[in-house]
Amino acid sequence: MDTGQTNVHRQNGVALWRQIADRIRASIANGDYDATGKVPPEFTLAAQFGVNRHTVRSALAALAQEGIVRSVQGRGTLIERKERLNFPITRRTRFSEGIGDQAREKEGLLLHSAREPASVDLSTRLRIPEGAQVIRLETLRKADRRPVSRSTTWFPADRFGGIEEAYSKSGSITVAFRMLGLSDYLRVSTEVTATHADGADLADLQLSPGAIILVARALNTDTEGVPIQYAVSRFPADMVQFTIEN
Amino acid sequence: MDTGQTNVHRQNGVALWRQIADRIRASIANGDYDATGKVPPEFTLAAQFGVNRHTVRSALAALAQEGIVRSVQGRGTLIERKERLNFPITRRTRFSEGIGDQAREKEGLLLHSAREPASVDLSTRLRIPEGAQVIRLETLRKADRRPVSRSTTWFPADRFGGIEEAYSKSGSITVAFRMLGLSDYLRVSTEVTATHADGADLADLQLSPGAIILVARALNTDTEGVPIQYAVSRFPADMVQFTIEN
DNA sequence: TATGGTTGTCTATATCAATAGACATTTAGG
DNA sequence: CCTAAATGTCTATTGATATAGACAACCATA
């Protein structure tokens, strides 16, 4: 829709090759090169961005490192991977159902769990007394073997004791809830922001530095409206989009 | 909530001073330094990020350039501006009402308007024949004199002829619709993504390079469910968050 | 098999980014 | 009014970033 015919900016703390890598990555995700399945020749890109060919090569090398493109001498630079998962945010938002058939293989990994007293902020959101025990789960979700989200999620400990194991076994919050006798729940609010990926994101989500992540802070309640879960999830912005249907 | 005690990354195409500037900007928006109204001393920050003091100074200079902090010799580095507007996304989302009393002064500027044939994508979304005339408005919205969004928005030309003037005079889509006889409308879907700001964003939204923008693609219909407007809006991610209430 | 288009590699040079250390200047507070 | 705690300024050095040009290696195809 928007052609983005803007040129690249110098001396701003972001190296030219990285700016160009980001632009090319976005163009690939946007489907701009679908006709050929290839990125335009280095020479062409260099002219387009107004930089030296070597600078473009640095950008393509970075994308190759990410596994997004693969350069073949004599042929060109082929697009290896191209994806943007869509996450609907509705009153009945569930991670695994949300992906639907956009991915064949879905996985939920429990990285870490802990019990701790609720902070002021958290106790307000979950409507529990300040300092009350909560269970915190650190989880990583994958679709087709690629990490798509890194979540920190809290549950009131008195009501959901044992959810660590339930999640660990099932890899699904929905199923874990069901194992603990909660058959249904609702998403009441979601806050969405965006930020640069930090070190933990880079490692867990297998991103390259400078990457952008979408941050969703979500509150779920049971059907009575009692808060049962607060979650902060981080998604790679170039792989994911949110859709809100009203 | 998340302390972000992660260290900064080298040789990744993003200069250390910019990474640090981004982190400090986020911390300010997050209210981490509210107790003192000042950023920690350069010496402390340098130790915290594991870099030289001069590198921190470059970061602070960039933030000073943006008008976010102001350094005073002998006193410290004072926080000048701190904000994150909240935009609720609901079935009745309206820009100016959404801001509510988060800003005293609200403004909508018409930068440019044009008539053009609808693209395939657009005609599908607005449910009009491909190539049918649409009116495109390029608008800039401000709150308290600071730009908070840059939108491109399309309307079916046959139904909303004259909306250019109506918007130009009122500075509000809601009011412009009303002037054309449409008293109510609904938000049916919103897609949210995030990306790096491009050149146009930097200029229009007065951002510094490397900044992140939230992109919302929205479809509005009248009360009968007939599409009336499709809009792509771009918000500075460090100034704005979206909230979805279900 | 010859050719044009493309990526791969090499050398050289200029500028920016980051570190290091020393010292000056300003402010707030005892 | 002195001192501690800040920020401001200067010089020097190293490595990363970007440009420039030339040529080699490879692939598809006419």
Interchain pair B199, A91: CB under 8 A: no
Q: Is residue A11 part of a domain?
A: no
Q: Is residue A168 part of a domain?
A: yes
Nearest to A182 by CA among A153, A148, A216, A223: A223
Residues B137 and B60 in one domain: no
How many CB pairs below 8 A link A and B?
Answer: 152
Of A79, A96, A128, the last residue of a domain is A79
Residues B56 and B74 in one domain: yes
Angle A228-A233-A235 from CA coordinates, rounded to 5°: 155
CB less than 7 Å from strand D: which protein residues? A 10, 15-18, 50-52, 54-55, 58, 72-75; B 11-13, 39, 41-44, 54, 57, 60, 71-77
Per-residue CA distances from A52 to A16, A43, A75, A211, B210 (Å): 10, 8, 20, 24, 21
Q: Is residue B64 part of a domain?
A: yes
Residues A137 and A27 in one domain: no
Task: Kindly list the residues from chain B whose CB atom is less than 8 angstroms away from the CB atom of residue A7.
Answer: 199
Residues B138 and B231 in one domain: yes
Query: What CATH code is carried by the domain that includes residue B211?
Result: 3.40.1410.10
B93 or B156: which carries more pLDDT confidence? Answer: B156
pLDDT above 90 as % of chain A: 39
Mean pLDDT of A160-178: 94
- Residue B101 reports pLDDT greater than 90: no
The pLDDT of residue A8: 66
- Residue B20 reports pLDDT greater than 60: yes
Cβ-proximal residues to B140 (8 Å cutoff; 6+ apart), any chain: B108, B109, B111, B147, B149, B150, B151, B204
Q: Is residue A172 part of a domain?
A: yes
Burial B14-24 (b: 16+ CB within 10 A, else e): bbbbbbbbbbb
* ipTM passes above 0.90: no
Q: According to the per-residue pLDDT averaged within each range, which of A41-50, A96-105, A111-120, B196-205 is highest?
A: A111-120
Q: Is residue A5 part of a domain?
A: no
The pLDDT of residue A26: 79
Of A29, A56, A79, the last residue of a domain is A79
Q: What is the mean pLDDT of chain B?
A: 86
Of B79, B106, B128, the last residue of a domain is B79
pLDDT band at B100 (very low <50, low <70, confident <90, very high): low
Query: What CATH code is carried by the domain that includes residue B69?
Result: 1.10.10.10
| Residue of A192, A205, A223, A238 to mutate, interface with B, max B Cβ within 10 Å | A192
**Closest alpha carbon to C1' of D18, residue:** A55
How many Å apart are A155 CA and C10 C1'?
Answer: 60
Residues B31 and B135 in one domain: no
Residues A205 and A116 in one domain: yes
Residues A93 and A48 in one domain: no
Q: Is residue B187 part of a domain?
A: yes
Task: Convert the pLDDT of each residue in A11-21 to its tens digit.
Answer: 677 888 888 88
**Torsion angle (degrees, nearest 10) of CA A145, A149, A152, A158:** -70
Residues A40 and A110 in one domain: no
Helix, strand, coil percent values for chain A (each to nearest 5): 30, 35, 35
Task: Convert the pLDDT of each residue in A106-150 to its tens digit.
Answer: 889 999 999 999 999 999 999 999 999 999 999 999 887 788 999
Q: Which domain holds residue A50?
A: 16-79
Task: Kindly list the residues from chain B whose CB atom is less than 8 angstroms away from the CB atom of residue A62.
Answer: 13
* Number of domains comprising chain A: 2
Q: Is B128:B118 a contact under the CB 8 Å cutoff? A: yes
Q: Is residue B3 part of a domain?
A: no
Residues A150 and A220 in one domain: yes
Residues B44 and B99 in one domain: no
Residues B75 and B116 in one domain: no
Q: Is residue A176 part of a domain?
A: yes
Residue with tokens 């403004």: B107
pLDDT above 70 as % of chain B: 89
Mean pLDDT of A21-25: 85
The neighbouring-strand residues paired with A115 are A135
- Which residue intervals of chain B are DSSP H helices? 16-29, 42-49, 53-66, 95-99, 120-126, 163-170, 173-179, 199-204
Strand extents, DSSP E, chain B: 38-39, 69-72, 76-79, 85-89, 106-117, 133-143, 146-156, 186-196, 212-221, 227-236, 240-245
* Min distance B169 CA to chain A CA atoms (Å): 26
Across the interface, of B14, B244, B246, the residue whose CB is closest to A18 is B14
Mean pLDDT of B206-219: 84
Residues A106 and A221 in one domain: yes
